[in-house]
A and B are shown apart, each in its own frame.
Chain A
Amino acid sequence: EVQLLESGGGLVQPGGSLRLSCAASGFTFSTYAMNWVRQAPGKGLEWVSTISASGSSTFYADSVKGRFIISRDTSMNTLYLQMHSLRAEDTATYYCAKAGTLNWFSCFDSWGQGTLVTVSS
């Protein structure tokens, strides 16, 4: 059974940094692209970032480009999202999601439970 477990969320001041982690199990982590998707309170889903299976290619939404960095550690079966220069509008629940096929861009067939990031002074 695929399991994705996010951690690292919390309260951070505007301009601060935070690193999210997503521990993966139940599948061959190195085979699939991985994604971060966020959801502001009471709002819809917003794609944040994708990393290829090898980790050599990364992609970002314009809203986070230059501030967030996605990475993965295959030895630890863990996905990361390093967030810098955080803004109030980054406040959201952040989900990690597994690609549903071997393509970089695909459906998201498994989701974690999410971790809440609150940016506020």
Chain B
Amino acid sequence: EIVLTQSPDFQSVTPKEKVTITCRASQSIGSSLHWYQQKPHQSPRLLIKYASQSFSGVPSRFSGSGSGTDFTLTINSLEAEDAATYYCHQSSSLPITFGQGTRLEIK
């Protein structure tokens, strides 16, 4: 099983700050890594697919990078509405796995 480890688990940030969330895979997954945002009491929402491809309708301040085992989600100029938990997800091999999540709190 491929384990995805996100860091940090929690971050408290101020608006307009730049945020970086990392996701490390226990073995190489190429670019089969996706990022989701989940706000309280809502369903997850796809932000970035295949490591760096922005999904339709996602604000341009969200971007992704990486390949192999190390991946990054970057949020430029954070906005209050970005308060949420962020998950990475790998579709390279079964079982499909998710990272444990990173909760972002806006100060």
A positions within 8 Å CB-CB of B: 35, 37, 44-47, 50, 59, 61-62, 95, 100, 103, 105-114
Contacts and interface: CB of A to CB of B under 8 A. Distances in A.
A107 B91 contact: yes
B44 A108 contact: yes
B96 A105 contact: yes
Contacts of B98: 44-47
B18 interface: no
B101 A44 contact: yes
Interface residues of B, number: 24
B49 A109 contact: yes
Given A107-B34, A107-B89, A108-B34, A50 B96 contact: yes
A95 B44 contact: yes
A111 to B, nearest CB: 4
Nearest to B95: A61
B62 interface: no
Contacts of A112: 43
A46 B89 CA distance: 10
